[in-house]
Amino acid sequence: MTARMGCLAGPAVYRLRQQGTFRTRPLGPRQTPFGPSEMVFEVHDEVSPFYLICPHGTEGYQRSDSFVNHRANLYAFKDLGIETVLGFTAAGAVSHNYDIGDLVLLSDVIDQTTRRANTFFEGQGVGVLRQFPVFCPDMQKLMAENLAEMRCRHHEGGTLVVTEGPRLETAAEVRFFAAAGGQLVSHALAPDVFLAKELELCFGGIVYVANFAETGSSYRPYSAENLFGGAPVSDQSRLERAVDLLGELIRRVSRLLPRENADCPCSLPMRDRAQRFDLPADWRLRFGSRPHPPMMGGWCPTCEVNIPRPSVKA
């Protein structure tokens, strides 16, 4: 059976793998013109398997989002033939409307990242793509319907501020984000959601609230019991429940793809750019002239040879 969906998942997915909710088979990293992707897993499912990439590493939080090869991960999904990506991550609540463990279907992004490669078309004019809606409306609707069926607490619509990291945000920054309309903050899902558009992929986004972003006020003060603060041990059961629900949601959505009568606008902006810039119909050829990834080594599809990995001097 062919996988129809790729899932980009934060470290919480380790829990789903450990407890057997997701039975995974490692397929290895995938070589791309942008360097190797992170390990790709196939998640077994009797109805519909899907692919899984954990951008932070296979076992724990091995690298922060600043050091993730976002382009390689998205390219790998496209190369595997999937058309839809579901991204989920933990987030800090900026808005007071959320509680620990709440699930929030995202509706928009404020991108505060500063040093991530955010286009496949470096040095070209191709990547000027419309970003409304940011997330695939069909995917967000599909997830909302399923969350309602599951009768779990969730919010439809939330603006995620994505910061560069790896440090966490200052109190003044969090207050600034709140004043600008940000409701949640995280290091993940950007530029992934933008890169997906350049590959004509649908991208659904959902977060679970893992902590309260620090503002320095007495409201929900910092708690040293949690890595990111703000989530006391008493809330751990809510977090575990949220991750379990996400696991069930991902399974449900994977089984419902592709959607009948899907009429989302996700591929339209790139289709227009491809026409305007006379890009090849075969999407892989759009990156054919790209030089070798400078620091990565590995298989180079341009030269069709293995580039030695650079030696590391002590």
Reduced to 3 states, what is the DSSP secondary structure of residue 161? Answer: strand
What is the C-alpha to C-alpha distance for residues 193 and 195, in angstroms, rounded to an integer? 6
Under the rule (CB under 5 A), what is the footprint of Zn ion?
136, 202, 264, 266
Residue with tokens 């001097």: 313
Question: Shortest distance, CB of residue 24 to Zn ion, whole angstroms?
Answer: 26
Nearer to Zn ion, 84 or 183 (CB): 84
CA separation for the pair 14, 22 (Å, rounded)? 9
Which residue, 136 or 210, is less far from Zn ion as judged by CB? 136
Cα(31)–Cα(58) distance, rounded to whole angstroms? 17
Name the residue nearer to Zn ion (CB basis): 202 or 249: 202
Q: Which helix (H) or strand (E) holds 225?
A: none
Least Cβ distance, residue 129 to Zn ion (angstroms): 14
Two structure tokens written together for 165: 């990291």
Backbone phi, psi, residue 208, to 5°: -120, 145
User: Cβ distance 76 to 34 under 8 Å?
Assistant: no
CB of 85 to Zn ion, least distance (A): 10
Q: Are 88 and 10 in contact (CB under 8 A)?
A: yes
Nearest partner of 207 among 220, 228, 189, judged by Cα = 189
* Least CB distance to Zn ion at residue 232 (A): 38
- Distance (Å, whole) CA 206 – CA 158: 9
How many angstroms separate the first and last alpha carbons of the chain? 47
Burial 52-89 (b: 16+ CB within 10 A, else e): bbbbbeeeeeeeebeebbbbbbbbbbbbbebbbbbbbb
Q: Supply the minimum distance, in Å, between the C-beta of residue 138 and Zn ion.
A: 5
Minimum gap (Å) between residue 200 Cβ and Zn ion? 9
Give min distance, CB of 83 to Zn ion, in A: 8
